[in-house]
């Protein structure tokens, strides 16, 4: 699982950099100077993707976090939440730059992504709690 965590962090780094590039190039090509959610896609991917999984990688090395029952659900629900959240932001931001309305459905979908991220964080803390308060003689 350590390799999957590493690759998750690496892929989020690439996606974050591509998100910044997309924002810059699209707004430049359309001469757009207003506010758009595209401006925060880059930081969401780097902070909630790269940094979170680098921290999870360290926690896994220290506490064998990936061996907990809640880790696999955390891992996959977190990715789903990120995909939905960032996907909604990209669609909403792109429509804004193109001068079109995005509607409430896109905001609702992004909200669902945030709910999934919240569930994933709860699962992460459940697994971490079990490892931190585990008796010293049975720690991995």
pLDDT in tens, the chain (140 residues): 889 999 999 999 999 999 999 999 999 999 999 999 999 999 999 999 999 999 999 999 999 999 999 999 999 999 999 999 999 999 999 999 999 988 888 888 888 999 999 999 999 999 999 898 875 555 55
Instruction: Give the per-residue pLDDT at 44.
Output: 94
Count the residues in the chain.
Answer: 140
Q: CA-to-CA distance for 42 and 3, rounded, in angstroms?
A: 24
Instruction: Give the per-residue pLDDT at 136.
Output: 52
140 in helix, strand or coil?
A: coil
Instruction: Give the per-residue pLDDT at 69.
Output: 95
Q: CA-to-CA distance for 90 and 104, rounded, in angstroms?
A: 15
Q: CA-to-CA distance for 12 and 4, rounded, in angstroms?
A: 12
Distance of CA 30 to the CA centre of its chain: 28
Q: CA-to-CA distance for 22 and 38, rounded, in angstroms?
A: 8
Instruction: Give the per-residue pLDDT at 140.
Output: 52
Instruction: Give the per-residue pLDDT at 66.
Output: 93
Q: What is the pTM of this model?
A: 0.89
């Amino acid at each position: 699982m350590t390799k999957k965590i590493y690759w998750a962090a690496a892929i989020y780094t690439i996606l974050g950099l591509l998100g910044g590039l997309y924002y810059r190039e699209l707004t430049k090509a359309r001469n757009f100077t207003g506010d758009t959610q595209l401006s925060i896609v880059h930081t969401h991917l780097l902070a909630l993707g790269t940094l979170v999984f680098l921290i999870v990688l360290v926690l896994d090395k220290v506490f064998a976090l990936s061996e907990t029952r809640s880790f696999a659900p955390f891992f996959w629900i977190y990715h789903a939440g990120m995909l939905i959240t960032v996907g909604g932001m990209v669609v909403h931001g792109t429509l804004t730059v193109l001068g079109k309305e995005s509607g409430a459905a896109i905001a609702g979908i992004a909200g669902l992504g945030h709910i999934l991220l919240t569930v994933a964080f709860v699962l992460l803390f459940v697994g971490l709690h079990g490892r931190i308060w585990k008796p010293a003689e049975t720690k991995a």
